[in-house]
Amino acid sequence: MAIKAVRGVHDILPSEAEKWRCVETTARRVFEAYGYEEIRLPIFERTEVFARGIGEATDIVQKEMYTFEDRSGESLTLRPEATASLLRAYIEHGLFVLPKPVKLYTIGPMFRYERPQAGRYRQFHQVNVEALGDDHPALDAQVIAMLIEFFRGLDIVQQLKLQINSLGDSNCRPVYRERLIGYFRTHMARLCEDCRERAERNPLRVLDCKKPECRPVLDGAPSVHDSLCGDCARHFLDVQNYLKAMSIPYEISPRLVRGLDYYVRTTFELTATDLGAQNAVAGGGRYDGLIELLGGPADAGIGFAIGIERVVLLLSGSDENAWGRKRPLALLIPLGDEALKQLLPVAQAVRSRAIPVELGDGDRKLRSELERANKLGVAWAVIVGETELARTEAVLRDMKSGEQQRTPLGELAQKLIALGGQR
Ligand code: AMP
């Protein structure tokens, strides 16, 4: 029996790779224009990094981590998200001495033991962006604007809706948390099992439940906006005013809490109108206080993560032809080993100019090579048989019209490079 991939883990096949490259290139182009620099981080960390950096009470830490002991008995975890690792690196390498905000991004795989379904995997990929050391609301607005700009660059911004919220800070959020716990206690019987279990441990997360049975209780829950302290209310209003100044449309969603324990003040999420249940494409928020909690300076922080699989799904809805396989310019067909020796350096010269060509091995018959040329979809077949060798030339066959022309072997590489340049 052939071995299959692990459940919830997927291969990115060549037919999809162009979209992935486009997402990554667009991310780099847009974020670097805003002054963000790339940081590459390890795939696994000490378990503690995530237990402290995401929060013991979160679903991620409680149920979804791939945690294992290495051979020395140390507890390690495959990263379920990038923020905690990135902050660990920020502190470890003293990046906080750089001019603030320190602006970083990273791209790579994440691992969560979740129930796999369309758009939800156990190994998935994120583009992660963090701006550290600045708590000005204009930064929140610019971070959100940059996220929107990324989707504009991919031409799918029209499929998305931006929601924002404020969760308050260490001043007012605990007050809200207590109010929520009190409210849920009186409505416990009408909550689903998950929510009953979360109500005391992580009450804000209950607000995020999508089950219809919880709806009526959640609809009646106290709003976080009634609990915001003066500073937080002002901060949130400023964020909105700056978004308006940049003409960025948004909706306020008092129930947008997100998974991480340490989000404070601004949270935001982009959802796609037609992606089904797993419609969150990107999300993030502010986490002032988290860097200090991880043993670093009292620097503020804000960031977001984009789910690449879901972005690729949105791109798939667009013009498929734009993502077609790149066809080679030509198939070079040597008929025999001597002809192969002549065509090997030609292929090498053309490829060195980044023009893709395919080369036969000299053993196959002309007819089957021409069939292969058709399947590859090349514009030209270049044939060198005994006759051509004797005349030191090659036959160039236009695969569309069937017309043929001859070129001296010594000029063949230049001729193909010129044809490649015209494409
Ligand atoms: P989070 O790190 O949970 O805030 O998620 C940020 C983004 O990552 C989400 O909006 C999704 O687009 C994506 N994402 C999160 N979990 C998964 C998953 N299991 N499979 C695929 N994409 C995911």
Q: Is 81 among the domain residues?
A: yes
Is residue 334 domain-shared with residue 297, that is, in the same domain? Answer: no
pLDDT at 321: 62
Distance CA 79, CA 228 (A): 33
Sign of CA pseudo-dihedral 229, 235, 238, 244: negative
pLDDT at 210: 82
Is residue 282 domain-shared with residue 362, that is, in the same domain? Answer: no
pLDDT at 284: 97
- For ligand 1, whether the C-beta of 198 sits within 6 Å is no
Q: Is 105 among the domain residues?
A: yes
Q: Which residues are within 8 A (CB) of 280 and not within 5 positions of it... i.e. 6 or more apart?
A: 269, 270, 271, 307, 310
Is residue 248 domain-shared with residue 112, that is, in the same domain? Answer: yes
Q: Which atom of ligand 1 lies nearest, measured to the CA of 121?
A: 20
Segment holding 182, helix H or strand E: helix 173-186
Ligand 1 centroid to Cα of residue 307, in Å, is: 5
Q: Is 150 among the domain residues?
A: yes
Residue 345, token pair as written in the block: 């350096």
Is residue 336 domain-shared with residue 411, that is, in the same domain? Answer: yes
Distance CA 339, CA 412 (A): 13
Low-confidence ranges of the chain (pLDDT < 50): none
Is residue 290 domain-shared with residue 343, that is, in the same domain? Answer: no
Residue owning the nearest CA to atom 17 of ligand 1? 120
- Classify residue 377 as left (phi > 0), alpha (psi -120 to 50) or beta: left
- Determine contact, residues 256/164, Cβ cutoff 8 Å: yes
Is residue 242 domain-shared with residue 290, that is, in the same domain? Answer: yes
Distance CA 18, CA 219 (A): 43
Q: 80-112: per-residue pLDDT in tens? A: 999 999 999 999 999 999 999 999 999 999 999
Distance CA 61, CA 235 (A): 30
pLDDT at 377: 95
- Determine contact, residues 256/204, Cβ cutoff 8 Å: no
- Determine contact, residues 171/232, Cβ cutoff 8 Å: yes
- For ligand 1, whether the C-beta of 283 sits within 6 Å is yes
Sign of CA pseudo-dihedral 220, 223, 227, 230: negative
- For ligand 1, whether the C-beta of 286 sits within 6 Å is no
Is residue 103 domain-shared with residue 243, that is, in the same domain? Answer: yes
Opening angle at CA 259, ends 137 and 239, nearest 5: 15
Q: Which atom of ligand 1 lies nearest, measured to the CA of 260?
A: 4
Q: Is 188 among the domain residues?
A: no
Mutation pick for ligand 1 pocket among 110, 125, 260, 281 (CB with most ligand atoms within 8 Å): 110
Where is the domain boundary, 292, 320, 348? 320
Is residue 134 domain-shared with residue 64, that is, in the same domain? Answer: yes
In the beta sheet, which residues pair with residue 44? Answer: 78
- For ligand 1, whether the C-beta of 305 sits within 6 Å is yes
Ligand 1 centroid to Cα of residue 121, in Å, is: 9
Query: Environment class of residue 185 by beta-carbon count within 10 Å: exposed (0-12), middle (13-18) or buried (19+)?
Result: exposed
- For ligand 1, whether the C-beta of 281 sits within 6 Å is yes
- For ligand 1, whether the C-beta of 310 sits within 6 Å is yes
Segment holding 160, helix H or strand E: strand 160-166
Total number of domains constituting the chain? 2
Where is the domain boundary, 266, 289, 320? 320
Is residue 347 domain-shared with residue 275, that is, in the same domain? Answer: no
Q: Is 6 among the domain residues?
A: no
Segment holding 339, helix H or strand E: helix 337-351
Is residue 283 domain-shared with residue 149, that is, in the same domain? Answer: yes
Q: Is 335 among the domain residues?
A: yes
Q: 341-364: per-residue pLDDT in tens? A: 999 999 999 999 999 999 999 999
pLDDT at 317: 63
Is residue 277 domain-shared with residue 399, that is, in the same domain? Answer: no
Q: Residue 120 sits in a domain of what CATH number?
A: 3.30.930.10
Residue owning the nearest CA to atom 3 of ligand 1? 259
Q: Residue 377 sits in a domain of what CATH number?
A: 3.40.50.800
């988290």: which residue's tokens?
290
Domain range enclosing 414? 330-418
pTM more than 0.75: yes
Q: Which atom of ligand 1 lies nearest, measured to the CA of 122?
A: 19
Where is the domain boundary, 299, 320, 341? 320
Residue owning the nearest CA to atom 16 of ligand 1? 120
Q: Is 211 among the domain residues?
A: no
Distance CA 200, CA 196 (A): 8
Is residue 30 domain-shared with residue 95, that is, in the same domain? Answer: yes
Q: Is 196 among the domain residues?
A: no
